[in-house]
Each structure stands twice: as structure tokens, then as C-alpha cells.
Structure 1
Amino acid sequence: MTELTPQLVEGLMNNVPPQQDFRQAVTIVSSDPGSVVYRIDVPQDQCNYHGTIFGGFINCMLEAAAGMATYAYGMNNVAISCATNFIRAVKPQVLTVSAHTTHKGRTTTVCHVDIKTPEGKLVAESTFTMFLLGPLESA
């Protein structure tokens, strides 16, 4: 497993949107080239009128993980497509987001991401295609 140095954590966090409550809620658990696991204590203000987590926020959590997993290869990246399945609605709580790549080519990666409750119940899953913008040094 790759050591979570402050520099690596800072770089991975570049994939999290700049909203302060989002960034402060994320704790990176582990990362290796092509994979990442993080936990997020979902803020209450990310709920819809049903009191469950807004689907757009769930997709944002998924995309952040796909970006982190691809970043862990040492590559700048952006999402070019995703297919998401929302499995169950949940209220704000600590969730675990896991991403791993199944393909890394010259210009794209394919990354599978899921979100689970503390009990291990699947909340959502997604497959992302990430476009590789080039090595981190060329940013």
C-alpha cells in the first residue's frame, strides 16, 4: 500500500470540489496507483426534501473518487463519461467511497466506484471513463 504522505493527500484532495463543508468531511483511508478509499461524513445540507442525500451529491462523491484513483497513477485527469446506479436512498451519515481502475490506457482509464454504509450496504455504484491530461509534472 502506498504511504499517505501529506503531499499525496493534498494532491488527491484536488479532486474534491472546493466547498469547505465537503472538503472538511472527507478522510482518505488508503490509496494505491489506480485505487482509493475515502470516508465522508455527509453534511446535513446535502439532503433533498425527503431528508436523504441528494443524488447529485452522491454522483459528485463518486466522481471525486474516480479522479483520485486516476490521480494516484500520477496523472491529471477529467471525467468524460459515467454510468451511475442509485441503489438505495440514505440519510446523512459516514459513508465509505471506494474506487479502482480496471483499465489504464494511453489516454483513458476506466474506473469502478461504489459507496457503502457502515453496515456494508451498497448506496450507489458507477463506472467512469477518465481522460488523461498528462503527467502531474506537466500541470
Structure 2
Amino acid sequence: MNDAATPLPPGAQLLGREWLGFDESGHALIRFQAQLDFTNRHGTIQGGFLAAMLDSATGICALAALTSELTVVTRSLDTRFLKPASVGPIIARARVTERTERDMVVHAELVDAEGIIVADATAQLRILAKK
């Protein structure tokens, strides 16, 4: 899986998504860039942008585990906002936790520049053949 090998979709471009690879524990690592334009009235990143990062991270993690003939769509995204997030880089750590022939469950967390988990999510994904 390498975002650099294919054109990024507009949403991924907006979020500043960059595929970093896998860490030693097998988690997919994806960097996002939280922009000033993503802030709410409190000066922190609005939850919808964090949810979009988590949705993107869980999907990319799932795709990394599949063959090129398959894709996934998100069926549900159970998201928790744990701490306020600031403008700047945010790293997603994602891992497939369950998989059947038709479905996949992926858990992801967003970590800020200080190493604090600011949000996490569990995604239920449907595996589909590419058209």
C-alpha cells in the first residue's frame, strides 16, 4: 500500500493523508495534517475532521490487507473523542482485528504530536470485488 503510487482522492488530499507503512507491532501508520481551517470555535480540530481521518485510516489499513481485486466500504464507524486535538500532524495507528470472507473490523487511534491519543474508532467494513 503506497499512497504515492496512486492519485489521492480529494478528501485524502484535504486531510493531508500520507501512508507511512507498518510499525514493528504490525499497525498501519498513516499521517494526517490537521489544518487551521479544521478548527472549531475553541481553536481545536472539529470532531468531524477527526472522524474523517479515522474513516480514512481504517479503510487504508483494510486495503493494505487485501488483494488488489478487492476493496472495502465502511458500514459503521464507532468513534470516541478523547482529548482536544491541535493543528499539526496527527498519526493514525490502525490494525485489522477481525476478518471474514465478506467483512472486516479495523480499530484505529489518532495520536497528536505529543503522543497523546485524541480519538479512536472501530470500523465495520464490507469487502467487495472492485468493479
Give the TM-score normalised by structure 1: 0.79
1:51 aligns with 2:46: no
Contact 1:35 1:68 survives alignment (8 Å): no
- What percentage of residue pairs aligned between the two structures are identical? 25
Residue in 1 that maps onto 2:18? 27
CA distance in 2, matches of 1:6, 1:55: 27
CA distance in 2, matches of 1:104, 1:127: 13
Deviation (angstroms), 1:35: 5.1
Selected match of 2:60 from 47, 60, 68 = 68
Contact 1:35 1:70 survives alignment (8 Å): no
Query: Alignment partner of 1:17: what SS?
Result: helix
Residue in 1 that maps onto 2:11? 17
Cα RMSD between the aligned structures? Answer: 2.3
Contiguous gaps of at least 5 residues in structure 2: none
CA gap of 1:128–1:67, structure 2 versus 1, over 3 A, is same
What pairs up with 1:1-139 in 2 under 5 angstroms?
A: 4=2, 6-7=4-5, 10=6, 13-14=8-9, 17=11, 20-22=13-15, 25-31=16-22, 36-72=28-64, 73-74=66-67, 75-134=70-129, 138-139=130-131
Give the TM-score normalised by structure 2: 0.84
Contiguous gaps of at least 5 residues in structure 1: none
